[in-house]
Amino acid sequence: MQAIAITTLPLLVPLGYWLGLVITLIWGSLTWKKTQNWRSREHTSRRGDHLLFVLIIGLGMVDLVIGVWHDSLRQALPLAGAAWLAALVVLMVRAVTPRPAAWWAGLALSGLGAGGWAAWQKFGVGLTRATGHPPLHSIFFGNFALLSALLCLAGFSWAWHQKRSRFCWFLLLLGGVAGGGLASALSGTRGGWLALPLAIGVFYYSYAHQWRAAWRWLGICCVVAVIVLAYVIPQSGVERRVNKAVADVHHYIEGTDIGSVGARLEMYRGALWLIREHPFMGYGHQGYQPAMQALEAKGVLSPKLGNYWHAHNDLLDAWVRRGLLGMLMVFGLYLVSLWHFIPGLRSENPAHKTISVAGVLLTVAFICFGLSYSFFAYPAGIAVYISWMAFLWVQVPEKYSQNSRYVHAN
């Protein structure tokens, strides 16, 4: 129940990221009381858990301090609340570890639901870009759907080892991959596609290096075929969005027009300018936009960039609005996840290997998503990243995540 709620609700239900956290906490507390396993040696806390917990609590504390310092507490409280609720989820799933089957089922349902809903919006309603329930607009919706598809793809290895229900799990996860990929394409969200080359690299490093050359080439050809197919089908909108991105870059270089890509580059330049002026405490959640408008008025930046309230880059946005410590908290949440999961990419234990691949994919995807949009500027981004990581985190034993003898040698 916990895993299904936390994976399906954010994409498919209004304010589902809050609802998923609350259901996880309620269900976990009831199960916790019933099983009385908090004192179990199997669920004792570990050094890595402490570091993760400190970073999550620290992120919420930074938001709260910056909110008080810059008189923007109203904007800071939802962000701090999402971080602290997610921290409770970390404790809860550590005490009551969810079953992997529920996690994979939730991801598959999330991808299937997102794909069906996106298709209805595009072909039934006639929307230009599929979108989610506010505040999950097209960028959030498309990227979360793509993430669901990638994680379902990672789940194939787990499904292969379910001897009695292998075929059923393959079909369910395949539906999640197809649905999530379709939703991503129909949302027209280009920034998320930056994660695909790195995701392919993660899969290759973890699995394909063991395959025969013929199978490796077949896998590569299948991936290329899927990408080409998505590009050439007019209804997907992929070709139009890619061509627009290329045109935006050319126009920005030539100085004739700014476009969406050029606007992001200008926002990055403006954020770096502001960071240089106030590197330690930032400008707060309300101060960033007026500061950008001031730069625009001085002629430092191109016009109309003051209309955006965040920097469209997670690390730059965290630094310019939350200060140096806020940026370090976000960066630390990336690093601690990679530190925990990367050693298992070549594990001889297939279950642990699958979880490790999913954990690395989750982090790599969020890093790539954060290159062109500020996901940590929203409670939804904080809640999804931390809660999904928590469900994967507890499946990896500490000795496995830190001891090289559990990693399969090259």
Q: Are the beta carbons of 186 and 129 closer than 8 angstroms?
A: yes
pLDDT digits (tens, 9 = 90+) for 60-83: 999 999 999 999 999 999 999 999
Q: Are the beta carbons of 11 and 114 closer than 8 angstroms?
A: yes
Q: Which of 242-246, 331-335, 337-341 has the lowest mean pLDDT?
A: 242-246
Q: Are the beta carbons of 381 and 321 closer than 8 angstroms?
A: no
Residue-number span of the structural domain to which 130 is assigned? 2-34+45-240+314-406
251 in a domain, yes or no?
no
* Residue 200 to residue 150: CA distance in whole angstroms: 10
Which of the given ranges, 46-50, 206-210, 314-318, has the highest pLDDT on average? 314-318
Tokens of 159: 């499904």
pLDDT band at 300 (very low <50, low <70, confident <90, very high): confident
Among the listed residues 191, 178, 200, the one whose alpha carbon sits nearest the alpha carbon of residue 142: 191
Looking at residue 39, what is its pLDDT? 44
Looking at residue 397, what is its pLDDT? 66
* Residue 69 to residue 283: CA distance in whole angstroms: 9
Distance (Å) of CA 342 to CA 50, 277, 335, 356, 402: 19, 37, 10, 7, 10
Looking at residue 41, what is its pLDDT? 41
283 in a domain, yes or no?
no
Q: Are the beta carbons of 318 and 326 closer than 8 angstroms?
A: yes
* Residue 283 to residue 145: CA distance in whole angstroms: 32
Mean pLDDT for 307-321 is 94
* Residue 296 to residue 169: CA distance in whole angstroms: 54
249 in a domain, yes or no?
no
Looking at residue 299, what is its pLDDT? 85
Looking at residue 255, what is its pLDDT? 66
Looking at residue 197, what is its pLDDT? 87
- Helix, strand, coil % over all residues of the chain, rounded to 5: 80, 0, 20
304 in a domain, yes or no?
no
Mean pLDDT for 165-193 is 91
* pLDDT beyond 60 at 307: yes
Looking at residue 225, what is its pLDDT? 80
* pLDDT beyond 60 at 400: no
Among the listed residues 137, 78, 88, the one whose alpha carbon sits nearest the alpha carbon of residue 382: 78
Reduce the DSSP state of residue 313 to 3 states and report it.
coil
350 in a domain, yes or no?
yes
307 in a domain, yes or no?
no
Looking at residue 34, what is its pLDDT? 56
Residue 97 CB contacts under 8 Å (≥ 6 apart), including other chains: 43, 394, 395
pLDDT digits (tens, 9 = 90+) for 172-183: 999 999 999 999
234 in a domain, yes or no?
yes
* Residue 263 to residue 382: CA distance in whole angstroms: 25
Q: Are the beta carbons of 182 and 130 closer than 8 angstroms?
A: no
pLDDT band at 38 (very low <50, low <70, confident <90, very high): very low
281 in a domain, yes or no?
no
> Which helix (H) or strand (E) is 330 found in, with range?
helix 314-341
* pLDDT beyond 50 at 403: no
Length of the chain: 410
Looking at residue 104, what is its pLDDT? 95
Distance (Å) of CA 219 to CA 20, 50, 153, 209: 35, 40, 13, 12
Give the chain's domain count.
Answer: 1
pLDDT band at 405 (very low <50, low <70, confident <90, very high): very low
* Residue 329 to residue 334: CA distance in whole angstroms: 9
Across the chain, what does the average pLDDT equal?
A: 86
Using only the alpha carbons of the chain, give its radius of gyration.
21
